[in-house]
A and B are shown apart, each in its own frame.
Chain A
């Protein structure tokens, strides 16, 4: 009986402590001491995680490979069939040359981006999160900052949301709170992409009647105040869904396999798109380039008006 009473007292005390913590963190947000405590916890736990990951990774890879044997066989058969089909459909040399020239132009355009990146190993997923974020083993010491885009060999993975000296947290595209401005590569239609956990991404085109078909590629679009480079591949449209009342969504299958992330690259030097024009940077036309004032028979008045304009600009 005494034990039961003691348990209930403990329950009340711990519940009260938890509620106080929730209230404090809710009110202080990202700027309070709770955020600093969190960063400290990540800093302390990350090296342990990293060491543990180094020990168990070979075992995990072995188990994962065994688990994937069935699908690998199927994949192998499918790829062989695809190869045979492609061999039969070899296009003419002239056609290849034309495609080559087009691809070269695309390649040059991509090279113009000239991104500087920092490679990072994915350490693990924070507890209690079903595929929303991952931790990586590169941080502020390597130049990583909040908002930077994170890529894998196949396309955009997500963006950095928190940084410590040696580690960073990346919010994946799959996170239900992830929102990205995107563009359909084939027709430049723009839209908003939302993460849906393990399900395909949901794409809402700004023009509800725009054409977009299964197989079309979805890429990133630079938006106001965005640090995500333009034109990074995300995935391809797989089907259209009607949401009623004239609304429709497109489902997008990602290129990146978010369950098998091991190495990623953080884009360090993406130009940040301004939220608006900085008034200090606006270049005024020179005096000689100003449009002529309307002709007025009274020259004296015209000069007075020009003088007033100059005073306003200052």
Chain B
């Protein structure tokens, strides 16, 4: 369990570094891939709802802590844990065509996180982009997720299956 936790922490730190340093350089039409969100979804899909929500909460909290002062602490944590849990709960329904199903679920989850985050910001009175820009951003991160989810799924599945312990809540 400790080893699995350490691997997930390493995945989170790596995703945060890639997100903050590399992702802005590969923006297409102003939309950058959301790698942290993608790891939340992929780990939820691979490990189940328990791991999905725990990792989602930790990742969301890290994003909130490193984001600008306009962001309210806990908003990303809430959205990420809900979507991480949902991804884990959806796992049994994607068994027929696993890789395709998981990729599409990652894309849908990425778009859902953009929209849910904005919805929460609106409720809390935080300024944000207009509806058209928001929808374009949701579509953009979903397209990035379709491209990046398969290699990430394969990589993390290989790494996690090589660990001796199994996730507890799945």
User: Could you tell me which A residues sit within 8 Å of B by CB distance?
Assistant: 3-4, 6-7, 10-11, 14-15, 17-22, 24-26, 30, 34-35, 37-38, 41-42, 45, 48-49, 52-53, 56, 60, 63-64, 67, 123-133, 135, 161-162, 169, 171, 176-177, 196-199, 259
Instruction: Please tell me which one of the listed residues A15, A21, A64, A126 contacts residue B68 in the complex, with CB atoms under 8 A apart.
Output: A126
A-B contact count (CB 8 A): 172
B50 x A7 contact (CB < 8 A) = yes
- Please name the residue on chain B nearest to A18 by beta carbon: B78
B24 touches A22 (CB 8 A): no
A-B contact pairs, 26 of them (CB 8 A): A3-B50, A7-B53, A7-B170, A11-B49, A11-B53, A18-B77, A18-B81, A30-B69, A34-B73, A38-B65, A49-B20, A49-B21, A56-B21, A60-B25, A123-B21, A124-B21, A125-B32, A126-B63, A128-B36, A131-B30, A162-B69, A176-B128, A176-B133, A197-B133, A198-B27, A198-B29
Number of interface residues of B (CB under 8 A): 57
Tell whether, in the assembled complex, residue B24 and residue A131 are in contact, meaning their CB atoms are under 8 Å apart: yes
| Residue in A22, A56, A126 whose CB lies within 8 Å of B75 | A22
A124 to chain B, nearest CB (A): 4
Q: Tell me the bound Cα distance from A6 to B24 in angstroms.
A: 38
Q: What residue of chain A has the Cβ atom nearest to residue B113's Cβ?
A: A128
B-to-A contact residues, CB < 8 Å: 13, 16-17, 19-27, 29-32, 34, 36, 48-50, 53-54, 57, 60-63, 65-78, 81-82, 85, 88, 117, 124, 127-130, 133, 137, 168-170
Whether the pair A52, B17 counts as a contact (CB closer than 8 A) is yes
Interface centre among B26, B65, B68, B117 (most CB of A within 10 A): B68
Assess whether B22 is in contact with A60, with CB atoms less than 8 Å apart: yes
B contact residues around A25 at 8 Å (CB):
72-74
Nearest 5 A-B pairs (CB), nearest first? A198-B30, A21-B74, A124-B20, A18-B78, A41-B65
Q: Nearest chain B CB to A211's CB is how many angstroms away? A: 27
Contacts of B70 in A (CB 8 A): 177
Point out the residue from A22, A56, A128, A259 that lies within 8 Å of B72, measured CB to CB. Answer: A22
Q: Could you tell me the distance between the alpha carbons of A60 and B76 in the complex, rounded to whole angstroms? A: 28
